[in-house]
C-alpha cells in the first residue's frame, strides 16, 4: 500500500528532513516568480479551512498554482461545508479525499489534522488545529531564521505574548529542539504562559529555556524576537483576555535596546503588538517571513505529492 506523507506535527521532523525541505524551498523561489509545471496539471489540492486565514490559505493555494496544479476548497468550511448539517470531520475527509490528491486542513479543534490523516486516502497537511500546532508556520519561521542569519544553531530566541494558545510557538519550540545550543526565553503574561507539555519536551531534549515577564531585560540579549498576538478568540473569557492584552509591545524605544543584528519575527496577523513604526527597520523581517511561506509550502506540496 502507498505510504502517505502527512504533515501533522513538528515533533516528527528531524534535522536532516528539515534541511532537505529548506534546500528545496530555496529552489522554489525562482519558480514562484516565473511559474512552473513541477507537478502535473491534473493534480488537485483541496483547502478546507474551518477557521479564518489570510496567509496560510492563500500561500498554499498560490503555491499549488505556481507549481502547475489546481485547487478546490472552501474558506469557511464551518458554514459552507456540510459540517453545518452535522457531518463529522471523518466523513468529510473520507469523501473529499476521493476528489483530490492532497488536503490542507485548518480546524478549530486540537488533534483534528491527526484524525483527518487516520481516514484520508491522500496526504493531509495541518494548517493549524485550534491551539495545538501549526507545523508549516514553524517551518517557514525556521527557514526565515536560517535565511536571514545563515544558521540556526546557537541562537537565543525570545518568544513573546500568547504562549498558551499560540500554536506557532508550540510548533517552533519542538522544531528548535533539533538544533544545537538553542536558548529560549519565554515572555508571557501570567495567564498565557508556555504549557507544561512544551517545557517537558524541551527538558527531554536538553533545550535550555527560561520564563520571565521582563521583555526589556531580554531586549539586549536575544538574537531573534518572535512576537505573537494575544488571541482573543481562544481565551476562556473577555476578562482573562484583558488581563493578558497589551503587555508586550515592540516599539521604537524597545528597538533601541536590541542588538543591530537582531531579527524580529511575527507569524501575523498582528493586533498592535508591533508598532508600524518598526516596519521600516531592517531587523523587522515579518513580511519577508510571510513571503517565505510561499516557498516552504511549494516545497511541502511537492514532497507530499511525490510520496
What is the Cα 182 distance to its own chain's centre?
A: 19
Which region, judged by CB under 6 A, interacts with ligand CP, from 39-47, 53-61, 210-218, 244-252? 53-61
Q: Which set of grid coordinates corresponds to residue 269? A: 496577523
What string marks each residue from 111 to 130 as x (binds ligand CP by CB under 6 A) or -? -----------------x--
Shortest Cβ distance from residue 140 to ligand CP (Å)? 9
Shortest Cβ distance from residue 294 to ligand CP (Å)? 12
Distance CA 141, CA 131 (A): 18
Closest-CA residue to 193 (of 157, 168, 220, 166)? 166
CA-only gyration radius of the chain, Å: 19
Distance CA 272, CA 286 (A): 14
Nearer Cβ to ligand CP (38/65): 65
Which region, judged by CB under 6 A, interacts with ligand CP, from 13-21, 22-30, 239-247, 261-269? 261-269
Among 24, 53, 257, 291, binds ligand CP (CB under 6 A): 53
Closest-CA residue to 174 (of 9, 6, 8, 11)? 11
C-alpha distances in angstroms, 177 versus 15, 40, 193?
9, 36, 19
Among 267, 298, 299, 304, binds ligand CP (CB under 6 A): 267
Shortest Cβ distance from residue 104 to ligand CP (Å)? 11
Q: Which set of grid coordinates corresponds to residue 252? A: 521604537
Question: Quick check: 7 binds ligand CP (CB under 6 A)?
Answer: no
Among 8, 117, 184, 268, binds ligand CP (CB under 6 A): 268
Question: Quick check: 297 binds ligand CP (CB under 6 A)?
Answer: no
Q: In what order do the strands lie in the sheet with 102-107?
A: 70-74, 44-49, 102-107, 124-129
Which residue is associated with the grid cell 479551512?
A: 49
Shortest Cβ distance from residue 257 to ligand CP (Å)? 26
Classify strands 156-160 and 183-187 as parallel, antiparallel or unpaired: parallel
Is the N-terminal amide bond of 269 cis, ω within 30° of 0?
yes
Among 81, 92, 97, 137, binds ligand CP (CB under 6 A): 137
Shortest Cβ distance from residue 144 to ligand CP (Å)? 12
Nearer Cβ to ligand CP (120/228): 228
Residues 6+ apart with CB under 8 A from 40: 68, 69
Helices assigned H by DSSP within 158-221:
167-176, 196-205, 215-219
Shortest Cβ distance from residue 77 to ligand CP (Å)? 14
Question: Quick check: 56 binds ligand CP (CB under 6 A)?
Answer: yes
Nearer Cβ to ligand CP (117/268): 268
**120 touches 112 (CB < 8 A):** no
Question: Which active-site residues does the annotation give?
Answer: 55-56, 85, 106, 134
Which region, judged by CB under 6 A, interacts with ligand CP, from 1-9, 18-26, 190-198, 267-275? 267-275
Which region, judged by CB under 6 A, interacts with ligand CP, from 48-56, 67-75, 146-154, 226-234? 48-56
Distance CA 292, CA 26 (A): 9
Residues that bind ligand CP (CB under 6 A): 53-56, 128, 134, 137, 267-269
Amino acid at each position: 500500500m502507498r505510504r502517505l506523507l502527512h504533515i501533522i506535527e513538528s515533533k516528527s521532523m528531524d534535522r536532516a528532513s528539515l534541511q532537505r525541505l529548506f534546500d528545496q524551498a530555496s529552489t522554489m523561489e525562482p519558480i514562484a516568480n516565473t511559474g512552473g509545471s513541477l507537478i502535473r496539471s491534473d493534480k488537485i489540492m483541496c483547502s478546507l479551512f474551518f477557521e479564518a486565514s489570510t496567509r496560510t490559505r492563500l500561500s498554499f493555494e498560490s503555491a499549488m498554482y505556481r507549481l502547475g496544479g489546481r485547487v478546490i476548497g472552501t474558506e469557511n468550511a464551518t458554514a459552507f461545508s456540510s459540517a453545518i448539517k452535522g457531518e463529522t470531520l471523518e466523513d468529510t475527509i473520507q469523501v473529499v479525499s476521493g476528489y483530490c490528491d492532497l488536503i490542507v486542513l485548518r480546524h478549530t479543534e486540537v488533534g483534528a489534522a491527526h484524525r483527518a490523516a487516520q481516514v484520508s486516502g491522500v496526504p493531509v497537511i495541518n494548517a493549524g488545529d485550534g491551539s495545538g500546532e501549526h507545523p508549516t508556520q514553524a517551518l517557514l519561521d525556521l527557514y526565515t531564521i536560517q535565511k536571514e542569519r545563515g544558521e540556526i544553531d546557537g541562537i537565543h530566541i525570545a518568544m513573546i505574548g500568547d504562549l498558551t494558545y499560540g500554536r506557532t510557538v508550540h510548533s517552533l519550540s519542538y522544531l528548535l529542539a533539533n538544533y544545537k545550543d538553542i536558548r529560549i526565553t519565554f515572555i508571557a503574561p501570567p495567564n498565557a504562559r508556555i504549557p507544561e507539555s512544551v517545557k517537558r519536551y524541551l527538558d527531554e531534549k536538553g533545550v535550555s529555556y527560561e520564563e520571565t515577564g521582563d521583555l526589556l531585560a531580554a531586549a539586549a540579549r536575544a538574537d531573534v524576537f518572535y512576537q505573537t498576538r494575544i488571541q482573543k478568540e481562544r481565551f476562556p473569557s473577555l476578562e482573562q483576555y484583558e488581563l493578558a492584552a497589551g503587555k508586550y509591545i515592540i516599539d521604537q524605544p524597545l528597538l533601541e535596546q536590541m542588538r543591530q543584528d537582531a531579527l524580529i519575527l511575527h507569524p501575523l496577523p498582528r493586533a498592535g503588538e508591533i508598532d508600524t513604526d518598526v516596519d521600516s527597520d531592517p531587523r523587522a523581517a515579518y513580511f519577508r517571513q510571510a513571503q517565505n511561506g510561499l516557498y516552504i509550502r511549494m516545497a511541502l506540496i511537492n514532497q507530499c505529492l511525490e510520496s
